[in-house]
Structure 1
């Protein structure tokens, strides 16, 4: 039984630049159910030997609604800008958009975590109060995606040392930082990511 399926390739012109996209439909077995999760990969053409890569977990509130409580939307926009610029310089890159909302706890639970944050919990305390780990994400599909494209070495746009460790299981990793400006709504969130999750901020 296949672990994942891959869509056809399509063009995606954006305000950042022109990309190609493909969707990877991952199948996970949960409670005796083979559940599909559909991820998106946006990349410049051609795919170079050492692409600039952003592995970005879905954040509906930040990516779509422009939430100021996190830095996700800013990181997504900056990553696409950097990949576009890299392409203009003859390099190029790829954004892997994982459907792992709320560091893997899902949208419903993320909103409940937000409600706890409104009461003074930090982002880690809120997840743990709901019975989850501080980070519930699984990056195994990323290994399959990179292998599908024949990628063996990447320049990874991240501040998260756990993500560096996870990606290093699949490819050789060179880390590139991605720092977006903070604001009065996410200062505590960013401080928690640095102090409790070890982010390089």
Structure 2
């Protein structure tokens, strides 16, 4: 598997074969050049929390009551159950798509600008697993809240990008085990054995990671996205989608932001 020569990306040797593929084997292509991007200003705590709550409320409001699921052999794009145009603070006008439940997960796509059939020009993409305690209440146990808010304000809301998407995965709470079991996992992690999250999930009778990203892959196919810069620290998300990945942007826990300047400068042919 050939990794893009520019941008930051993990070595994929052995990764694809080891990870559970939900659609086609991911392809890593070179990206087309565009314009340089810079991060915006720092995020104020009150505004960040308000933004996250608004996002989750609007996403949940758009979900229809249907819980139709797809069979394990389903491939191809998924038609959304509903769609509406919204205006998010710090982001602007977006389209929000609510897709059917697939493998126990519902994908909520938040799309800014044109993302379809761009001829290989990558768009910024965040696949974000639902995390109530982090996204809404800003738990310090995880980086979920800061990662979501920084992407929304400083990437999706960055006018130098002009487009991009968040795929918010409802049903991925606690790596797919649900909130109640996630709290039980916390008790084991904080106990005398100090279990890791993966070991605690196994102790509860689950796999280390129960999540499927087939719903995300199907949403990207419906949106006709042909190339992305993926913002993630999770290699399973790289393996879980079939869309071409031009680069992977890492998260900096120290700086509390996505480190993407060098990635976009290289993709767009600008000096770093």
TM bucket (normalised to shorter chain) is 0.7 to 0.9
1:161 corresponds to 2:235? yes
1:110 corresponds to 2:185? no
Is the helix fraction higher in 1 or 2? 1
Which deviates more from structure 2 when the two are superposed, residues 173-182 or residues 109-118?
173-182
Count of residue pairs brought into register by the alignment: 172
1:39 equivalent among 107, 111, 124:
107
Mapped to 2, the partners of 1:7 and 1:16 lie a distance apart of: 27
Tell me if the contact between 1:75 and 1:180 (Cα under 8 Å) persists in the aligned partners.
no
Q: Show the 5 A alignment for 1:119-130.
A: 119=191, 120-130=194-204
Based on CA coordinates, which of the two structures has the bigger radius of gyration?
A: 2
Instruction: Evaluate the alpha carbon distance shift between residue 72 and residue 2 of structure 1 in structure 2; reply closer, same or farther with a 3 A threshold.
Output: closer
Q: Structure 1, residues 51-101: CA drift from partner, whole Å, max 9, x if none?
A: 11000010011011111101111111112121211xx11441000000111
1:17 equivalent among 82, 91, 94:
91
Displacement of 1:27 after TM fit? 4.4
TM-score, scaled relative to structure 1: 0.77
Following TM superposition, the consecutive aligned residue runs of length 4 or more in structure 1 with deviations greater than 3 angstroms are: 1-5, 180-183
Q: Is the partner of 1:11 in helix, strand or coil?
A: strand
Mapped to 1, the partners of 2:111 and 2:251 lie a distance apart of: 18
List gaps (5 residues or longer) in structure 1.
29-35, 184-201
Q: Paired residue for 2:252?
A: 179
Is the strand fraction higher in 1 or 2? 1
Mapped to 2, the partners of 1:27 and 1:68 lie a distance apart of: 30
Displacement of 1:126 after TM fit? 1.2
1:60 corresponds to 2:135? no
Instruction: Evaluate the alpha carbon distance shift between residue 2 and residue 26 of structure 1 in structure 2; reply closer, same or farther with a 3 A threshold.
Output: closer
Displacement of 1:115 after TM fit? 1.3
Mapped to 2, the partners of 1:150 and 1:51 lie a distance apart of: 12
TM-score, scaled relative to structure 2: 0.58
List gaps (5 residues or longer) in structure 2.
1-67, 71-77, 257-272
Q: Paired residue for 2:164?
A: 93
Q: Paired residue for 2:208?
A: 134
